[in-house]
Amino acid sequence: MAKLKKKERHDALLNILETDPFLTDEELSEKFGVSIQTIRLDRLSLNIPELRERVKSVATNNYEKVRTLGQAEIVGELIDLELNKRAISFLQTDDTMAFQRTRIVKGHYIFAMAESLAMAVVDANVCITGVANMKYRVPVAAGQKLVAKAELTRVRGSEYFVHVIINVNNDQVFRSKFILTALNVG
């Protein structure tokens, strides 16, 4: 690797740590062909924490995320629930849920909130989504607090019709209809 100027090295450093935050100062110094001290100075001036802190933050950040997004069966906090009638949930949005460029929250987070609330309101062991129709009325900005309200409107055999609307400050940003099918599972 050709010798880089300081500025170039800084950019490259940010870049490389973005894709692999698990490199030690020593490994970095070898990659750039400079001394360890130079790397340390770079990190200092760029406010990049040491390896252990980086690893820790990757660990804790994702820990939360995987807990609430991957493992939890409901997206958002369930605030109120009357089975087969209505349910309310709350979701605090943040930058990790948004497109970087526009800071508009990605549709599937909103969809996930609505779908999981629709499922929660149905009094059945297991149910799957059959049909979903939705209308995004207003884009949601990262940081806004979402309140979802679900209402069971109709039951036809094992099919459940659920309306879910999502508000920000009492303004409707999203509305949807789901048809869920209940399954008979142990």
Contacts with DNA by CB under 7 A lie at 5-6, 9, 24-26, 34-35, 37-38, 40-44, 49-52
What does 124-136 look like in DSSP terms, one character per residue? Answer: SSEEEEEEEEEEE
Applying CB under 8 A, the residues found at the interface with its own copies are 22, 52, 55-56, 58-63, 65-66, 69-71, 73, 75, 96-97, 99, 101-102, 104, 106-108, 111-112, 115-116, 126, 128-136, 139, 183, 185
* In the complex, least distance from residue 124 CB atom to its own copies, rounded to whole angstroms: 12
Q: Which does 25 bind (CB under 5 to 8 A by kind): DNA, its own copies, none?
A: DNA
- Are the C-beta atoms of 153 and 164 separated by less than 8 Å? no
Given 3-state DSSP classes, what are the helix, strand and coil percentages for the chain, each rounded to the nearest 5? 40, 35, 25
Q: Which does 139 bind (CB under 5 to 8 A by kind): DNA, its own copies, none?
A: its own copies
User: In terms of CB distance, is 11 or 82 closer to DNA?
Assistant: 11
Report d(CA 145, CA 79) in Å as an integer: 13
- Are the C-beta atoms of 173 and 140 separated by less than 8 Å? yes
